Copies of this chain bind each other. A is one copy, B any other.
């Protein structure tokens, strides 16, 4: 099941390279410099490739609007305010979130190459996109990567009846020799809001303990959802605690806005920078063990995991397994484009004067 409700229900698909081309050209036409356009496109195509369509190319119209409005600077000045051999503070100059995050992770890796670890606190950034994109960027270079970002309030506390934390993701990726990386990218809410939208569109009741009405009470009715529940159900203090971990790393350590103080992603104000913080970190495995030891232990861990006994008729997956399988499919078939995004892309192409997105004919049966 895709995270984004529309994605798998339509047959319109586009090649990933063509999607990247379209995103870059649209962002450039809207005023983004080359670094911003390519970083934002890379992060969106990460989502489109791995089936995380909530953070895929459907974000493009939003990002164009944020750049045109001035909330996000198309030509930001990013600079490292200070650094040690293992930490740095990046003032992103209200850049696109992906521009800042990839730059910060590059720095973290460069420090980890020398020192074994690198951590970068990011100031004055904006919507993060898929946190896993930046953790993965580290794993692709042989590092263990971490990425954290808070976001505008949408998740109640355990026992709470008010939006407090953002969905505050935790992402971690680790390289696996000869295979795709281990990749964890999770909101600290029980489910993402897009899952609520899926239940709404399907007209089926929500599971217990995932979302609440305006009084903080569990609701099974997707249309009544006013806030999300923290991960953990009866033990939601753990999900809320993890959201707090993300809040402290992202906002408190950067001096940027707490979730409760971040202007809503959806506007109406698209002119004022959102003053968000984020935190990324890279570890170099060979600073701790030999490359061969690390590789062998990851393989042993994953072999053990994938062969662990399952409930009857069930299956077990490592973080990322589902996504890499989807990526394999999408490399062949292209990524699905939901109708709303397809319409918005047509309007963007016309208005910005860029070549429209080429799509494939409806795909043959995808397994």
Contact = CB atoms under 8 A, between A and B. Distances in A.
A78 interface: no
B288 A87 contact: yes
A317 interface: yes
A168 interface: no
B121 A288 contact: yes
A300 interface: yes
A146 to B, nearest CB: 9
B117 A308 contact: no
A350 B279 CA distance: 54
How many copies, total? 2
A117 B117 CA distance: 8
A288 B85 contact: no
A160 B312 CA distance: 9
Contacts of A245: 170, 172, 184
A255 B287 CA distance: 12
A100 to B, nearest CB: 15
Nearest to A315: B159
A123 to B, nearest CB: 9
A314 interface: yes
Given A159-B314, A161-B311, A318-B244, A85 B86 contact: yes
A184 to B, nearest CB: 4
A87 B233 CA distance: 37
Given A237-B319, A300-B258, A190 B159 contact: no
Contacts of A203: none
A285 to B, nearest CB: 7
A119 B164 CA distance: 31
Closest 9 CB pairs of A and B: A86-B86, A87-B116, A162-B309, A159-B314, A216-B311, A252-B297, A184-B241, A241-B319, A157-B316
27 contacts: A85-B85, A86-B115, A87-B116, A115-B115, A158-B317, A159-B311, A159-B314, A159-B317, A160-B309, A164-B304, A164-B305, A174-B248, A182-B248, A190-B233, A190-B234, A208-B208, A216-B310, A231-B238, A232-B232, A232-B233, A237-B317, A244-B318, A248-B298, A251-B297, A252-B298, A255-B293, A260-B304
Interface of A: 84-87, 89, 114-117, 119, 121, 144, 156-162, 164, 170, 172, 174, 182, 184, 186, 190-191, 207-210, 215-217, 231-235, 237-242, 244-245, 247-248, 251-255, 258, 260, 283, 285, 287-289, 293-294, 297-298, 300-301, 304-305, 308-312, 314-319
